Structure 1
Amino acid sequence: MAVDVVTEVVIRRPVDVVAGYAGDPGNAPQWYSNIESVNWRTEPPVQVGSRMEFVAHFLGRRLAYTYEVVELVPGRRLVMRTAQGPFPMETSYEWAPVGESRTRMTLRNRGEPSGFAGVAAPLMAAAMRRANTKDLARLKDVLERVSGDTPR
């Protein structure tokens, strides 16, 4: 059974700020609660073909997987797919302006778990939805409480 989870949030910051921050995989540990680290396997900045190794904790398990950027439209869309890891997964970010100074960010995770993970796909999707909702709220907090144009 496939997993396909879509969540979104509106952030009171311009698209270029939100996309610049969220679209930099190196910032992921600051706003994804489950991501412990990101190690670049290719030279930054992010571009089609970039590869990064993520270490995360999800549902009580430590996961290590490598994402490869397969699509990038700066300021609009970023799509990454696992090159290896526990099961094939695609993560996409989309950013759209809402007026002049707000951004709607959509986060989508979809994949095709197999074996036991396939049987547990409905539970996994529900857990991913909860985690993504919390992570987007954290991203919103990080970006809205900073002054200036570059969050740290």
Structure 2
Amino acid sequence: MVDVQAETVINRPRPEVAGYAADPGNAPDWYSNIASVWWETEPPQRVGSRVAFVAHFLGRTLEYTYQFTEFVPGASLTMKTAQGPFPMQTTYTWQDAGEGRTRMVLRNTGSPAGFSRVAGLVMAPMMRREMRKDLARLKQLLEAR
């Protein structure tokens, strides 16, 4: 089981941060490992929406589809892999963190298929490092606006 969380405070209003981060089309701009994204269902995002991703992780190219399972605009978004090599759930939450500032939490949980518990323990620190870098990139992009 992998359960990894990272967070940051972004000096932009919550609706702006949440709107940008929740839009899958923006993912390649701030996620270093995501190469491409396309909708399998008609946008915009809502519970039941499906979005396909191509990513690079641990030297492999991964293709997977996320399905939106919970979505509260401006507050939270939860997606689960509908298919792919790593059964995962990704959750974003956004909270006000003072005047015009937003705390964003990114959490990934799951049980990678074909991996032992030990492999999960090795993956978690790598995932955490990547998630922190991704949130730092998101912060940089949004604060430069």
TM-score by length of 1: 0.93
Displacement of 1:37 in angstroms is 0.4
Quick one: distance in 2 between partners of 1:117 and 1:11? 36
Q: Partner of 2:101 in structure 1?
A: 102
Displacement of 1:122 in angstroms is 1.0
Q: Partner of 1:111 in structure 2?
A: 110
Q: Partner of 2:2 in structure 1?
A: 3
Q: Partner of 1:78 in structure 2?
A: 77
Any gaps of 5 or more consecutive residues in structure 2? none
Query: Which sits farther off after the overlay, 73-82 or 110-119?
Result: 110-119
Secondary structure in 1 aligned to 2:48?
coil
Q: Partner of 1:149 in structure 2?
A: none
Displacement of 1:63 in angstroms is 0.5
Amino acid at match of 1:58: F
After superposition, residues 52-63 of structure 1 pair within 5 angstroms as 52-63=51-62
After superposition, residues 2-151 of structure 1 pair within 5 angstroms as 2-116=1-115, 118-146=117-145
> Deviations along 1:59-115, whole A, 9 cap, x unmatched?
111100000000001100000000000021000000000112000000000001232
Go from structure 1 to structure 2 and tell me whether the alpha carbon gap of 1:118 and 1:53 turns closer, same or farther (over 3 Å shift).
farther
Quick one: distance in 1 between partners of 2:116 and 2:21? 28
Go from structure 1 to structure 2 and tell me whether the alpha carbon gap of 1:91 and 1:15 turns closer, same or farther (over 3 Å shift).
same
TM-score by length of 2: 0.97
Displacement of 1:141 in angstroms is 0.2
Go from structure 1 to structure 2 and tell me whether the alpha carbon gap of 1:26 and 1:117 turns closer, same or farther (over 3 Å shift).
farther
Displacement of 1:117 in angstroms is 5.5
Secondary structure in 1 aligned to 2:32?
coil
Displacement of 1:118 in angstroms is 4.3
Secondary structure in 1 aligned to 2:15?
helix
Any gaps of 5 or more consecutive residues in structure 1? 147-152
- Which aligned runs of 4 or more in structure 1 are off by greater than 4 angstroms? none
Query: What percent identity do the matched residue pairs reach?
Result: 64
